[in-house]
Amino acid sequence: MIRPIIAANWKMHKTIPEAVSFAKQLKEEFPEPGNVDIVIAPPFTALSSVMEVLKDSPIHISAQNMHWGEKGACTGEISATMLVDAGCGFVIIGHSERRTLFGETGGMLNKKIHAALKSGLTPIFCMGETLEERESGATFRIIRKQIKEGLNNITSDDIRRVALAYEPIWAIGTGKTATPLQAQEAHRFIRETIATDLEYAHASETVIIYGGSVNPENTGSLMDQPDINGALVGGASLDFGPFADIIKISER
């Protein structure tokens, strides 16, 4: 049975005191393991402080990005080893903002996924299409390309250690959300693609979550879909109340 993931991506938000305050509230509200895995992705500056708050709780910590190298002359970058040292169990890889704003390619993301797995991190590998690509009927072609590039040479055993995230770029931070049917269609395609094109034996066990203007109002209808196993929450994760509501709705 797939265990859903509800992940908060804070992006470039929250100072250390703000992140710690949020983490304390989350720990108090969800002191015991529930029916979903709760993951929060603070900015790099707050990782260690948040880890100190959550180290005795069931809540997991994720980084928002990483470099594929173990160490070296890569000014401004963070390695998987450093993230593990800071208390991370997850790392977001391939978010559309990394692809569009920072030019990260499928080959780069593939190296990151390999490095994350080698260090024991669970990658949350993101994929999705632009509005233009959707309107031109290229959604599935784009998703298949991103899957093949990002998961190149990832073994069937390792795919069970990767969470996939479908995040249509046109729905991120826009207030627009894919309808439950549109999201389910894409999630089903992702599951079928890793089963057929990449011949992964454990595709039915793979966690696939949805990201794109998720909020308490649409969480229930999204989670009702058979191939949607959680959410990657952006704006609605910045305030404790809405994020807590999303978790509670997902646990029902």
Q: How many CA atoms lie within 13 A of 201 on its CB side?
A: 4
Pair type for strands 163-166 and 37-41: unpaired
Task: Give me the count of residues in the chain.
Answer: 252
Q: Which of 97, 104, 133, 167 is catalytic?
A: 167
Buried-state track 174-185, b at ≥16 Cβ within 10 A, e below 16: eeebbebebbbb
Burial class (CB in 10 A: 0-12, 13-18, 19+), 37: buried
What is the spatial distance between Cα 170 and Cα 173, in angstroms, rounded to a whole number? 8
Is 18 catalytic? The answer is no
What is the spatial distance between Cα 70 and Cα 197, in angstroms, rounded to a whole number? 31
Q: Which of 67, 95, 114, 187 is catalytic?
A: 95
Burial class (CB in 10 A: 0-12, 13-18, 19+), 227: buried
What is the spatial distance between Cα 101 and Cα 120, in angstroms, rounded to a whole number? 28
Lookup result for tokens 């509230």: 25
DSSP state of 162: -
Lookup result for tokens 């994350």: 116
Is 95 catalytic? The answer is yes
Cα→Cα distances 13→44, 88, 109, 145, 192, Å: 11, 18, 24, 31, 36
Residues annotated as catalytic are 95, 167
